[in-house]
Structure formats: C-alpha cells, structure tokens
Amino acid sequence: MSLFEWLLGVIVILLTLFLAFTVYNQYRLRKEKKLIKPIGTIVKVNGKGFHLYAEGKKTSKPTLLIMAGSGVPAPSLEYKVLYAKLSSRFRVVVPEKAGYGYSDVTKNSRDVETLVNETRTALQLAGETPPYILMPHSYSGIEALYWSQKHPQEISAIVGLDMAVPEACLSIKWKIPKFELKLFGIMRQMGLFRIPFMKVSKYTELSKQEEKQYYYLAYAKAFNRNIISEVADVMESAQKVNDSKLPQVPMLLFVTEGHGTGVDWRTMQHRLAEKVMHSEVIDINCEHRLHYHVSPLIAEKTSELIEKITN
C-alpha cells in the first residue's frame, strides 16, 4: 500500500466517523428537545422566547439580577449554587439572554445595547420591577456598566462576580478569532461535546435531573450563533462603555486572577474600582467561576451591602 492510499484510507475513516457522530447527535437532539423543560417563565421579546428564573418574594427590594458569563449553557442552573443562598431573604432573578439556557436563538444584533434592552423588556413582561442590584459574572460586567450608564435610576448597586471591565475587553489579547468560535459550533453540531470529557462541575449542587437538563441545553446551545456574535462584538460593546462616564453606583467586586482570560484581570478590576466613589474589592484565590467556590461569602457580603444601601 502506498503512502497516498494509506492517507486516503485514514481520511475516509475519519470522515465516516464524523458523519456517524453528526447523524447520531442530530437524532439525540431531536429526542432530547422533548425532555427540555423550562424551570422559570418564558416571555416573548421581539418574537422570540426569553426565559427568566426567579426565586424569593417579589416584595423584597431591591431585586438581585444574576447575569451570566459568556457562553454559559444554562444560567438558571449554573448559578443555583449562589441564588439558593440568597433567595430566602431577597428576590433573585436569573435572566437568560437569547441563545442561552431555555431562551430561543435570535437573529438580532448581540451588541451591548441590544442585550440590555432585551433583558429590560423581558423583566418588564415578567412583572419584575427595579430597583435592581446587578450581579454580573465575567463578560456581563460590560452589560451591567452600560445599563448603569443609560438607566442609573434602575440600579441600586453592582456586585461584580469577577466581571469584565472595558480595559480588559479592549486589550488586544482578548480578541478571539471568529473562526475558532465557529469551529466549536461545528463540534457541537457534530456531537463531539458528548464525549465524556465534558462534565458538569461537582460544585454546582444540582440534582441528577437538573444535571440532565444542563447537559441537554449544553449539547443543543453551546457556541450557537448568538454566543459567537456576542463575543465577536465584545470590543465594540466595551468601547461604548469606555466612551461614557463611569457610573457612580455602589460597587462590590469579587476578583480573581481570571485564569484563561489572557489579561491582567485582577489589576484591571482594581483600577476600575478606584474610580468609583463607593466601592469595595474582595480578592479571591480561586478559578474564574468563583460562584462554585465562595458563594457563601458572596451571599454574606451582598447581604451586608443591601443593608447599607437600604437603611
């Protein structure tokens, strides 16, 4: 057998395997779609379903909004480990943007203005009202800052969960090639995310049924076009925030080294806090998904902040 024939045989085998994976994945997705059961409320925003999960009494003000980091497959499940420690005392809402969790995928722009406007509309349709304390994780820090700039009367405070700041997003190192993101999307469509290396974190405190829902949503939604567009627009969105005056709302920032972000994540959040009159930074030594590791501390310090701003 010649080298050419050997290589051709390998290519044929790989293509056959990839095709088999894809067909099997599409079959599984059709079956799993029937098993996906939203756990919250779905409202229509621009003709698409927008899912919000809420716990706690509506009369408890201000309402806490936990805003998901970029690409989180199922925010309403991902952040259970945190909101479960807050909802006995406060109203907590987890909005799921288009393309996230139980929400539909949309064709609308994913720039920061659209993201914030859609979330505000969904909250209104679901009967949720300000004032809000925004709790953004990672990228959604840009959304929280923009929201506070454009609608300061709605925001009582920002509790940053290792949140992104404009300086970090505008760093050249934070540019993620769109090709790489699309490649991950293709891998999801082929079903390669079903390979056992993808595991729900043991720190989520989810039930077995909730874990299954998490997997179903990850297999169906990971790196869809909305997530890809959101990341592709990150620098433009960050520039919008950077070009406007920094909001002077109380800020409590939980900060890590931001492993994997490629920038000096901790220092940049400290620099932002120095420009805010009423701010506190709490340094944490753990991974970027700090809600897995220090949710009791986040709940405790958030409760103390609410006492300060409401008394």
Q: Cα(215)–Cα(217) distance, rounded to whole angstroms?
A: 5
Q: Cα(126)–Cα(304) distance, rounded to whole angstroms?
A: 28
From the list 115, 29, 36, 33, the residue with the least C-alpha distance to 76 is 36
Burial 123-142 (b: 16+ CB within 10 A, else e): beebebebebbbbbbbbbbb
Cβ-Cβ contacts under 8 Å for 294 (sequence gap 6 or more): 254, 284, 286
Q: What is residue 161's DSSP assignment?
A: E
CATH number for region 35-310: 3.40.50.1820
Question: Per the omega criterion (within 30 degrees of 0), is the bond before 247 cis?
Answer: no
Tens-of-pLDDT digits for all 311 residues of the chain?
A: 677 667 766 677 777 777 777 777 778 888 888 999 999 999 999 999 999 999 999 888 899 999 999 989 999 999 999 999 999 999 999 999 999 999 999 999 999 999 999 999 999 999 999 999 999 999 999 999 999 999 999 999 999 999 999 998 888 655 666 666 667 667 767 666 676 655 666 777 899 999 999 999 988 888 888 998 898 888 899 999 999 999 899 999 999 987 766 678 899 999 999 999 899 999 999 989 999 999 999 999 999 999 999 87
Q: Cα(161)–Cα(68) distance, rounded to whole angstroms?
A: 10
> Using CA of residue 232, residue 250, residue 303, residue 286, what is the dihedral sign?
positive
Predicted TM-score (pTM) of the model is 0.89
